[in-house]
A and B are shown apart, each in its own frame.
Chain A
Amino acid sequence: MRRRSPFLALVVALGLLPGCGALTPSAGARSARGPLQVWIMEPGSAELRAFFTSATTEFESAHPGDRVSVQFVPWASAHDQFVTAIGGGQTPDVAEMGSTWTPEFADIGALEPVDLTGRYVPSLVDAATLGGKVYGVPWYAGARALIYRADFLRSLGLAVPATWNDLLTVGRAVRDRARMPAFGVAGDAEHYVLPMVWQNGGEIAVRKDGVWRSGMSTPPAVAAVQFYADLFRTEHFAPAGALSWNARDVRQAFAAGDLAMMIGGAWDLKAILAAHPELAGKVGTALLPAGPAGDRSSFAGGSHLVVFSGTKKEAVAHRYIDFLLDPARVAAFTSRIGFLPATLGSAGGVDPATAEAESDPLYRPFATQLDDHSRTYPPTREWGGFEADGLFTAAVQQVMAGRQSADQAMKGVAKAMDEAFSG
């Protein structure tokens, strides 16, 4: 027995080596039978699941014979899961897809082109367009704005910051007088820092002669990153741990009463108030503070409903998408979660849900931010990879930690972007 143990070890070792199991939600898209496989992104909202439970029942009873199986995929791992699913030929039939990823997956032929009928938020249509064809139906949109503790600012006699300078003044007062973290400067939140490039008059990328070029190493972009990093590094507006925080950590800190101001969407505010009813009436919202360039743009995020190519249930897939896009259902969904419909009202006016959002003063800034002060990232097939790779966040963390100057870090980012753009 003894003599065999090294050999045994080798066998055990060999058996243990290839241990790379991919975690993919099961799907059986290639089969014509079974229920329609749908992947929905999970923003961390309990309301979402409740909505889909009742929507699925409603759809199935309205269309006898059609069955739907909805799986919820967390945003953070969704890109990986799409890649894995495509690699394994196990894609869903229908999926909700982050608007910045659609071109990437459309480019390799993973998505079916769709016919758009009706009117949608133009930036989301652009984000789904590749080579003149549209690959996703805009479903909802949202833009982050400023969420703050009105009670704290009031007790300190401070006005809501409207500019970067105000943000510094108010933040310093909160830090020094209330002795609490002033602003959620998170290291792992690209949607916080990238819009500051616009606010400072810069561009993240520009298209010249059909080729995208990074704008991240230009002076306005570098200065924006420096400003953001300094809020953490020299101003200490957030606790040290914020270097590795993501947007969800910021939301948690704010909900726990440990943060005076944060950047967030209406979906964040809804989740915060749902979990902490005692904060009702103590929270205010405003447009993002304007940068020196006078710009106060936020990132217009949103999602598309896409049909994966190779589905054998195209008819059901389109029936289901049409069902979800029914204006009343979109309105019910978006107002419940805190998004805004990506559909525009039929008469060119505002959609009912948008109108409702705008009637509540607490939620009005989010609608204004989206309508008048929002932009999208360059709709390129490379963008999804930048986000998944943490290209921006890793570089911003270097600056926040003081390991690299903003100039150095952004040169690296620009180089990586340009290499990707040039194929």
Chain B
Amino acid sequence: MGSRFDRRVLPWLLLTPALLVVFGLVVYPVGRTVWLSFRSAGLPYLASGQSRFVGLDNYRRLLTDAHLREVFVTTAVFGFACVAATMAVGLAVALLLNQPFRGRGLLGVLVLLPWAVPRVAAGVVWRWMFDDRYGLVNWALSHLGHDFTGFSWFNARLPAFIAVGVVVVWQSFPFIALSLLAGLQSIPPEVREAARMDGAGPLQMLRHVTLPMLRPLLLTLIVVSTIWDFKIFDQVYVMTGGGPYRSTELAAITVWREAFARLHLGSAAALAVALFAVLLAMTIGYGRLARDEMALR
């Protein structure tokens, strides 16, 4: 074995197992979904592989079907709202945990608990908390002044989404808080001290020192949260099932309903591909943003 062999082939040889795994787990399923999105396939496809090429028909349906269009808008609005709320709560908790006070360690552990709860379990528990008659939420809200007795959270779209949103944010802020806490602790104390010497108040400190220094981390976390919150399935499936009258259907729920209930596998695939494309575009967009940011420094 000469040194040329080592230099050219060895890296690929070493990479092969990883590439195979990536291909099997990512490239093949995505490719298969794209292929299916150009075909008309129902239950017989699952049993015997029967399907028919239909060109762009499935994609045309995405644009012409009023319900599907609405689902995309709903998913985007709900997704961004959840990202914003998660980041806000996560940042607030991170800032709190970054303060030295007694019991900080214990609180830090407690804050992580929602993250550890399986999503389906959280959905079931919270659905009971939001129950119209036996729920803790209505009881607590009623004691806070406004009468919520018998208020039914899952009867209309907005309250249902508020309930689901609370659960989504509750489950995703710990990761954000933990990451931001790590980021906060990596900010050199000299910088803060210098700012304080210059007379910066807490808000100015946050705006002009802390947030700019956390920016790359924040962007990454926003990307990750966006991807999570655009493909929310479990909590909605458990809490509302997309109802009432399909008003709380998010894209992932619609993909599932198209595929497993209506057995329109082709149009479910088209919907999944569209969701994939949107998320990919956003990810690339965020990536660019972060790179430009870096270049400016």
Which A residues have a C-beta under 8 Å from some C-beta of B? 2-3, 5-10, 12-20, 79-80, 83-84, 86-87, 104-105, 107-110, 187-188, 239-241, 243-244, 256, 258, 385, 388-390, 393-395, 397-398, 401, 403
Cα A258 to Cα B131 with chains together (Å): 14
Contact code string B215-237 (vs A, CB < 8 Å = 1, else 0) = 01101100110011001000000
B150 touches A403 (CB 8 A): no
A109 touches B48 (CB 8 A): yes
B283 touches A10 (CB 8 A): yes
A388 touches B155 (CB 8 A): no
Q: How far is the CB of A301 from chain B (nearest CB, A)?
A: 19
Q: How far is the CB of B228 from chain A (nearest CB, A)?
A: 7
Q: How far is the CB of B253 from chain A (nearest CB, A)?
A: 11
B152 touches A108 (CB 8 A): no
Cα A3 to Cα B39 with chains together (Å): 42
A401 touches B155 (CB 8 A): yes
Pick from A241, A258, A397, A398 the residue with the most CB of B within 10 Å. Answer: A241
Top 4 closest pairs, chain A to chain B, by CB: A241-B132, A87-B46, A388-B261, A241-B152
Q: Which of B26, B133, B245 meets A258, CB within 8 Å?
A: B133
B294 touches A3 (CB 8 A): yes
Tell yes or no: B209 within 8 A of A by CB: no
In the complex, given contacts A241-B154, A243-B152, what are 9 additional A-B residue pairs having Cβ atoms less than 8 angstroms apart?
A6-B220, A6-B291, A12-B224, A80-B256, A83-B263, A243-B154, A390-B242, A390-B246, A394-B244
Interface residue total, chain B, C-beta cutoff 8 A: 56
Tell yes or no: B194 within 8 A of A by CB: no
Cβ contacts under 8 Å, A5 to chain B: 216-217, 219-220, 290
Q: Which of A7, A389, A401 meets B287, CB within 8 Å?
A: A7
Cα A390 to Cα B244 with chains together (Å): 10
A13 and B224 in contact, given A6-B287, A7-B287 (Cβ under 8 angstroms): yes
Pick from B33, B47, B48, B287 the residue with the most CB of A within 10 Å. Answer: B47
Considering only CB atoms, which chain B residue lies closest to A249 in the complex?
B131
Tell yes or no: B170 within 8 A of A by CB: no
Cβ contacts under 8 Å, A388 to chain B: 260-262
Q: How far is the CB of A391 from chain B (nearest CB, A)?
A: 9
B30 touches A84 (CB 8 A): no
Tell yes or no: B158 within 8 A of A by CB: no
A83 touches B46 (CB 8 A): yes
Considering only CB atoms, which chain B residue lies closest to A88 in the complex?
B46
B46 touches A239 (CB 8 A): no
Q: How far is the CB of A417 from chain B (nearest CB, A)?
A: 13
Cβ contacts under 8 Å, A105 to chain B: 43
Cβ contacts under 8 Å, B33 to chain A: 18
B43 touches A86 (CB 8 A): yes
Cα A385 to Cα B43 with chains together (Å): 10
A243 touches B47 (CB 8 A): no
26 A/B residue pairs, CB under 8 Å, sorted by A: A5-B216, A5-B217, A6-B290, A6-B291, A12-B223, A13-B227, A16-B228, A17-B279, A17-B280, A18-B30, A86-B43, A86-B47, A108-B46, A239-B132, A239-B152, A240-B132, A241-B132, A241-B150, A243-B154, A243-B155, A243-B244, A244-B244, A385-B262, A390-B243, A395-B245, A397-B244
Pick from B29, B44, B245 the residue with the most CB of A within 10 Å. Answer: B245
B243 touches A244 (CB 8 A): yes
Considering only CB atoms, which chain A residue lies closest to B25 in the complex?
A18
A385 and B219 in contact, given A108-B46, A108-B48 (Cβ under 8 angstroms): no
Cβ contacts under 8 Å, A13 to chain B: 223-224, 227, 279-280, 283
Cβ contacts under 8 Å, A256 to chain B: 134
Contact code string B51-92 (vs A, CB < 8 Å = 1, else 0) = 000000000000000000000000000000000000000000
Cα A401 to Cα B220 with chains together (Å): 42
Cβ contacts under 8 Å, A393 to chain B: 243
Considering only CB atoms, which chain A residue lies closest to B294 in the complex?
A3
Q: Which of B43, B262, B290 meets A9, CB within 8 Å?
A: B290
B245 touches A403 (CB 8 A): yes
A15 touches B26 (CB 8 A): yes
Tell yes or no: B240 within 8 A of A by CB: yes
Q: Which of A3, A20, A83, A394 meets B245, CB within 8 Å?
A: A394
Cα A397 to Cα B152 with chains together (Å): 14
Q: Which of A3, A7, A86, A240 meets B155, CB within 8 Å?
A: A240
Cα A30 to Cα B63 with chains together (Å): 41
Pick from A6, A14, A239, A401 the residue with the most CB of B within 10 Å. Answer: A6
Tell yes or no: B115 within 8 A of A by CB: no
B291 touches A83 (CB 8 A): no
B155 touches A17 (CB 8 A): no
A241 touches B283 (CB 8 A): no
Q: How far is the CB of A40 from chain B (nearest CB, A)?
A: 21
Cβ contacts under 8 Å, A86 to chain B: 43, 46-47
Contact code string B253-297 (vs A, CB < 8 Å = 1, else 0) = 001110011110000000010001001100110111011001000
A385 touches B261 (CB 8 A): yes
Q: How far is the CB of B46 from chain A (nearest CB, A)?
A: 4
Cβ contacts under 8 Å, B29 to chain A: 18
A16 touches B224 (CB 8 A): yes
B263 touches A385 (CB 8 A): yes
Considering only CB atoms, which chain B residue lies closest to A244 in the complex?
B154
A2 touches B216 (CB 8 A): yes
Considering only CB atoms, which chain B residue lies closest to A23 in the complex?
B120
Cα A94 to Cα B138 with chains together (Å): 45
Cβ contacts under 8 Å, B276 to chain A: 17-18
B219 touches A9 (CB 8 A): yes
A79 touches B260 (CB 8 A): yes
Cα A109 to Cα B43 with chains together (Å): 10
Cα A397 to Cα B133 with chains together (Å): 20
B245 touches A18 (CB 8 A): no
A9 touches B283 (CB 8 A): yes
B257 touches A389 (CB 8 A): yes
Cα A84 to Cα B47 with chains together (Å): 10
Contact code string B120-146 (vs A, CB < 8 Å = 1, else 0) = 000000000001111000000000000
Cβ contacts under 8 Å, B244 to chain A: 187, 243-244, 394, 397, 401
Pick from A108, A393, A397 the residue with the most CB of B within 10 Å. Answer: A108
Cβ contacts under 8 Å, B290 to chain A: 5-6, 9
Cα A20 to Cα B29 with chains together (Å): 10
Q: How far is the CB of A209 from chain B (nearest CB, A)?
A: 24
Q: How far is the CB of B176 from chain A (nearest CB, A)?
A: 14
Considering only CB atoms, which chain A residue lies closest to B291 in the complex?
A6
Considering only CB atoms, which chain A residue lies closest to B259 in the complex?
A83
Q: How far is the CB of B241 from chain A (nearest CB, A)?
A: 8
